[in-house]
Structure 1
Amino acid sequence: MINKDEWLIIGLITSCHGINGQVKVKSLSDFEERFLKPGMRWLQKDNEPPSKIELLSGFKQPGKETFIVKFQGINTRNNAEQLKNSKILVKTDKLPKLKKEEFHFLELINLEVKTLENDELKTIGKVINLENEKNNLLVIELFKNQKEVFIPFVKEIVPLIDIKNNFIIISPPNGLLEL
């Protein structure tokens, strides 16, 4: 279950854009409106507490997974430089409603990972993270050796997700867990 008092990182400010205080944002969200629709967001630099800031406007760079956004009060390149490497956050109580068989990243963290071997479920690890550079990959820590493995988050390899009972079943191709 999602803790409503937690933060969700939806993007990372990577650099400045132009001279009028705009910044380039790497999206960590499937919901583009988070960078397009004006409203309150929170920024976090390093391990400082999050601070409130208003998103005024944004647009997606054509052909890229990055956005150019403008925040209230950030009007010069020097102001924008101060935001570099900041995380853009939203409260988990602001998560969009999903369709059946869609999941929020936070719901997957700490789920047990099981495989079906000889008609028997075997617990092999737990989900510790999600990488989404080009494709969504579950980062799984294996119990037997504490090794981290990356599993493509696709129906063919992750056929069952049971949030209520706190586990997923994976069906990895031969050798994937040994990589």
Structure 2
Amino acid sequence: MAESNDWLSVGKIVAVQGLLGELRVNPASDFPERFTVPGPRWLRSRQGGEPSEIQLKKGRQLPGKSLFVVRFEGVDNRSAAETLVGMELLVPADDRPELAEGEFHLLDLVGLKARLTADGPAIGTVSDLISGGNDLLEITTSDGRKLLIPFVEAIVPEVKLKAGWLLLTPPPGLLEL
């Protein structure tokens, strides 16, 4: 049986699109080919458990939106599509595109220590990522508070994956929210 860390979540099925079995996916990946290139993908239900394989037939990005519309083999009508809403779209964890120097996968940020100075103590640890208009880092502080920090270069100017930390330069008041 595969462990949960054997899988990489690339999106969540959020709605049905039309009557012919198409589905809207909110991506958790910066690689559009995850939603447009046909081939095997896996679905995991909201309750968790073992993912099941499904074949992606085709996909496209909705113009002006971050959502993708996908079509899976065997899902040919709205009723069949509705049973998949809420499921997580997965690929094997080792199916990670190669990156250029200085780039990194967003999920690699989870577990990094957050610092306010390069040589200062950690104020917390990146505990989650929230995708939206701008990605947000959820940082859990040593006292258990959860901070939401916009993942933009002005606020997170340095990421040191190998050293295990990232630098925050938050505007006044952001850490007190």
TM-score, structure 1 as length reference: 0.90
Q: Is 2:139 the counterpart of 1:135?
A: no
State the shift of 1:101 in Å: 2.2
- How many residues get paired? 174
Which runs of structure 2 are paired with 1:1-179 in the superposition (5 Å)?
5-46=5-46, 47-116=48-117, 120-143=119-142, 145-179=143-177
CA offset at residue 45 of structure 1? 0.7
Distance 1:120 1:11 in 2: 36
Query: How far does the alpha carbon of each residue in 1:138-177 deviate from its partner, in whole angstroms, 9 at most, with x for none?
Result: 111111x211111121222212211112111212122111
Name the % identity.
39
SS at match of 1:50: strand
Give me the CA root mean square deviation.
1.8
Residue aligned with 1:9, SS: strand
Aligned residue type for 2:61: K
Bigger shift: 69-78 or 14-23?
Answer: 14-23
User: What is the distance in 2 between the residues matched to 1:16 and 1:122?
Assistant: 47
CA drift at 1:16 = 1.5
2:94 aligned counterpart, secondary structure: helix
Q: What amino acid is the match of 2:30?
A: D
- State the TM-score, normalizing by the size of structure 2: 0.91
The answer to whether the 8 Å contact 2:107/2:129 transfers is no
Instruction: Give 1:4 shift.
Output: 10
Counterpart amino acid of residue 36 in structure 2? L
Deviation at residue 106 of structure 1 after TM alignment? 2.1
Mapped partners of 2:110, 2:6: distance in 1:
13
Q: Secondary structure at the match of 1:19?
A: coil
